[in-house]
Structure 1
Amino acid sequence: MKPVNKNDRLLVHVEDLTHDGAGVAKVEGYPLFIHGALPGEDVHIHVLKTLKSYGFAKLLEIENASPFRVEAPCPVFDTCGGCQIQHLSYEGQMTFKRKLVRDAITRIGKLPDVPVHPVKGMENPWRYRNKSQIPFGMEDGRVVAGFYQPRSHQIADTDICIIQTPEADSIMAGIKHKLTEMGIEPYEEETHRGQLRHVVVRKARATGEIMVVLVTKKKKFPQAAEALKLIQELVPETVSIVQNVNPEKTNVIFGDETITLWGKDVIEDQIGDVRFEISARSFYQINPEQTEVLYGQALEYANLTGNETVIDAYCGIGTISLFLAQRAKFVMGVEIVPPAIEDAKRNAELNGLSNTLFEAGPAEQVIPRWYKEGKKADVLVVDPPRKGCDEQLLQTILKQRPERVVYVSCNPATLARDLRILEDGGYRTQEVQPVDMFPQSTHCEAVAWLQLAE
């Protein structure tokens, strides 16, 4: 028998936050998830839904507020899915994220004694995103643009986003207010009608160069000249305007065909001493300031002297690989996406780093072949997607047994799971350093250092 029922009104104490930013209160051990509530608060709630082992409730009133509660500065914070914890002070966010990582390492990884350091955060945790992917649509006969609402493809309409660049704001609002006048119909996902699907804005922090990508349903784009003129007027720093064609009935943003309409094919950025060319579809870290912190931590844990061979699994466009190549004897990167490998090779050439090798393919297949060819690693770096390392790759690591492993993670839960597997196979986790790449959201990256046991 559940201790609460739908439509109950209760006063509860909030104990924790979930990974997606909801407050957690327990009634006789039964968890209730409350959007907008913060740990330490006493709140009045209305129970909306009860399931077998947990339920959901609406926040009605705060009786005792958390000392970390602040007024969210974004006008669409309550409807937009981009940020989850703007109502939590940045100090509170740092505390939450460290706990998130430490709880995962302890609970999932069964590693309570591994040091989890305080989060490395930002001095100014706003306006940090160097890439904005802005959907366009129609609502009640008017053009809307902004970001998707939580767990939906309804657009939270806005003219500004305080975690993206001011240039992205200008382009988002400017195009939205001129779209009808230009005769461009925004795309409707449900009916598969309309032309303009997304506008993607990328800014290189080091050079200030800006690329604008217009994602359209059809290649034919009669209003292109007018759109180019508008974008250049809105943001004169734009150096590249690109059209990407996505004719599919899908919610995937990009299609396969990309056409440069005006200016350069790529923009150039720099992280530390390493230069990168970024194309419309290149994967590149969203927060350039914190990327330098993240990669600097990976470099510190790699502890390179100049004599090591390093393998970088999930190397992407070579961002970590090229950082490491400045200090290593030789770096080999593997990535399953062929265009990313072409970018990595080009970026290595751009930086004159000839002590690198990049190959496209599954890491769990390529690395064992490298070992058979005598290409063995002293240090192995992994930077997997949210799902964590492929099980075969973990078995490959345990079989090849590099002296040191540096694990760069964007998901504390899968990091903890994979650390447990590596620990059981003979490695020892020395320490974990969380890095805040996404202020105002619940996401937290972390770097772990593992050493092969004697």
Structure 2
Amino acid sequence: MNDEVETLLSQPPLKSKKYQKKVRVMLEKNAVIEVLIEDLSHDGKGVAKVENLVFFVDNALPGERIQMRVLKVTKKMGYGKVEERLSTSPERNEAIDMTYLRSGIADLGHLNYEAQLIFKTKQVKDSLYKMADIKDIDVPLTLGMDQPFAYRNKAQVPVRRVSGQLETGFFRKNSHDLMPIEDFYIQDKEIDNLLVFVRDLLRRYDLKACDEKEQSGLIRHLIVRRGHYSGEIMLIIVTTRPKIFRIEQIIEKIVAEFPALVSVIQNINDQNTNAILGKEFRTLYGKDTITDQMLGNTYAISAQSFYQVNTEMAEKLYQTAIDFADVKPDDVVIDAYSGIGTIGLSFAKHVQHVYGVEVVAAAVHDAQKNAAANGIDNVTYVCDSAEKAMEKWVKDGIKPTIIIVDPPRKGLTESFIKVSANVQPEKIIYISCNPATMARDIKLYEELGYKLTKVQPVDLFPQTHHCEVVSLLEKRN
């Protein structure tokens, strides 16, 4: 920090516009100043305060004093990067490869795992307090993994040309510059091994990687799914056009090396968009699906199926939901975001009936097939909006005692919350991947006669800032 900036920042705040302007000049892009990291943001960035500005800094932890280079400044906030670390947090994971931080694969990997669980617990507490003014609820420590690495059962890896060679890897954060990677740290190791093997085959057969700037090349993405318990593997090759040169020989060599590969799917995406998958799928080898188990049920998983990427922790998540609901044999359950049935079918063996609703027709079909495959006949799945389906079921005389919601990150709509509250179930189980939108929705539920009585964060995504949480809302007398 130069002497002039140090002098300015050591002075008490002044209201003079001239002073404020001078400070701002000293904090313009590329200035280097010494700051103390005071907190972590919801997405794991270090937070520092300089005058009346809040700065967000990647790879910086609370308690660390750093030399920060200013990257950007707006009226109320700024962004910086660590130029030099003057002191180090005892909670820092020094062993993390910087590749995982630069790519965002493990954006919380620089924090040791015990501290990650505490951070996620705090995120839930803070969201409930700030968004819903709830501060009297006990939020237990986030449920974590014994081995919080190599857990992902699905990989979506871009394929690009780098320095004239086909590479697989991950994009650098906030860019489309591919960083070649072989060990993805949080992915199933067999998936990593398969990706490297396929990459080398594509090179050997001289198949061209996608080039976004030139709008050329054939191979856009490789997607791999692997059953946690079954070990079955699916490979999805995303291409820009239908024909793949010598694909039969390529598949033969992959299967010889990976006998657990039971499905090879081609997806054709010729659109110049950020969407990974196109509309057309072709089965090139084996089955259309792989199978895996969760809480004793077997599921068929297709190329498009939503299936939790961390099977071990998904089982803990769903078991927590079952325990919170304290289910009885005469309970009637509505699963309002039923997907391929993983939550509803986990409940079905404990209750009288489960009614599932999902807007994606293919997912409804998969849920019906999964129910039949597991011999579960006390379930009904329909393709519709949750609001319309619930209103129809109520008109038909169906009285749910429990409603389960597991919405996307944006949370629930106000109309859904009102309709579900009007149905008046005894309990609402809210499974969320975004504590902030969950807290916002809980606030409205509390206004409509429900009370938050239990919360449990669950770490489905170790080494990242993402947090899953189960909440129980009960109808007030």
TM-score, normalised with respect to structure 1: 0.97
Distance 2:164 2:55 in 1: 39
Which of 20, 24, 40 is residue 43 of structure 2 equivalent to? 20
In structure 2, the residue matched to 1:451 is 474
In structure 2, the residue matched to 1:150 is 173
| 1:191-211 Cα shifts (integer Å, max 9, x gaps) | 332111111111101111111
CA 1:395–1:444 in structure 2 vs 1: closer, same or farther (change >3 Å)?
same
| Larger Rg, first or second structure (1 or 2) | 2
In structure 2, the residue matched to 1:164 is 187
In structure 2, the residue matched to 1:117 is 140
Residue 75 of structure 1, CA deviation: 5.8
Which of 89, 98, 106 is residue 121 of structure 2 equivalent to? 98
Distance 2:254 2:94 in 1: 34
Moved over 6 A (4+): none
Residue 265 of structure 1, CA deviation: 1.8
SS at match of 1:296: helix
Conservation of the 8 A alpha-carbon contact between 2:324 and 2:454: no
Residue 56 of structure 1, CA deviation: 0.9
Residue 374 of structure 1, CA deviation: 1.4
- Please state if 1:275 is matched with 2:275: no
Q: Which amino acid in the other structure matches residue 31 of structure 1? A: V
Determine what percentage of the aligned residue pairs are the same residue: 39
Distance 2:155 2:163 in 1: 25
In structure 1, the residue matched to 2:339 is 316
Cα RMSD, aligned residues only: 1.4
Task: Trace 1:207-246 onto structure 2 (pairs within 5 A).
Answer: 207-246=230-269
Bigger proportion of residues as helix: 2
SS at match of 2:86: strand
Q: Which amino acid in the other structure matches residue 230 of structure 1? A: K
| 1:42-76 Cα shifts (integer Å, max 9, x gaps) | 22212222100100112122222111101243362
Which of 206, 210, 213 is residue 190 of structure 1 equivalent to? 213
Deviates more, 1:239-248 or 1:282-291: 239-248
Residue 243 of structure 1, CA deviation: 1.3
Task: Trace 1:320-359 onto structure 2 (pairs within 5 A).
Answer: 320-359=343-382
In structure 1, the residue matched to 2:442 is 419
| 1:2-58 Cα shifts (integer Å, max 9, x gaps) | 755214332222111112221001123421111110012122212222100100112
Conservation of the 8 A alpha-carbon contact between 1:200 and 1:213: yes
Residue 258 of structure 1, CA deviation: 1.7
Q: Which amino acid in the other structure matches residue 51 of structure 2? A: E
| 1:220-270 Cα shifts (integer Å, max 9, x gaps) | 223211220232244222121111222222221112222221122211100
Which of 374, 391, 398 is residue 397 of structure 2 equivalent to? 374
Distance 1:224 1:371 in 2: 53
Task: Trace 1:66-81 onto structure 2 (pairs within 5 A).
Answer: 66-74=89-97, 76-81=99-104
Residue 154 of structure 1, CA deviation: 2.2
Distance 1:342 1:322 in 2: 14
Distance 1:159 1:234 in 2: 17
SS at match of 1:129: coil
- Please state if 1:436 is matched with 2:436: no
Q: Which amino acid in the other structure matches residue 260 of structure 2? A: E
- Please state if 1:402 is matched with 2:425: yes
| 1:115-141 Cα shifts (integer Å, max 9, x gaps) | 211100000000000000111011221
Residue 153 of structure 1, CA deviation: 2.5
Deviates more, 1:397-406 or 1:187-196: 187-196
In structure 1, the residue matched to 2:17 is none
Q: Which amino acid in the other structure matches residue 42 of structure 2? A: H
Give the gaps of 5 or more residues in structure 2: 1-19
Distance 2:190 2:93 in 1: 27
Distance 1:194 1:230 in 2: 23
Conservation of the 8 A alpha-carbon contact between 1:241 and 1:262: yes
SS at match of 1:393: helix
Residue 422 of structure 1, CA deviation: 0.3
- Please state if 1:293 is matched with 2:316: yes
In structure 1, the residue matched to 2:202 is 179
Which of 218, 234, 250 is residue 273 of structure 2 equivalent to? 250
SS at match of 1:348: helix
| 1:91-117 Cα shifts (integer Å, max 9, x gaps) | 111111111111111111111112211
CA 1:112–1:323 in structure 2 vs 1: closer, same or farther (change >3 Å)?
same
Distance 2:215 2:191 in 1: 26
Q: Which amino acid in the other structure matches residue 38 of structure 1? A: L
TM-score, normalised with respect to structure 2: 0.92
Conservation of the 8 A alpha-carbon contact between 2:201 and 2:250: no
CA 1:191–1:328 in structure 2 vs 1: closer, same or farther (change >3 Å)?
farther
SS at match of 1:123: coil
- Please state if 1:200 is matched with 2:223: yes
Conservation of the 8 A alpha-carbon contact between 1:364 and 1:390: no
Across the two proteins, how many residue pairs are aligned to each other?
A: 454
Conservation of the 8 A alpha-carbon contact between 1:386 and 1:411: yes
Give the gaps of 5 or more residues in structure 1: none
Distance 2:212 2:354 in 1: 43
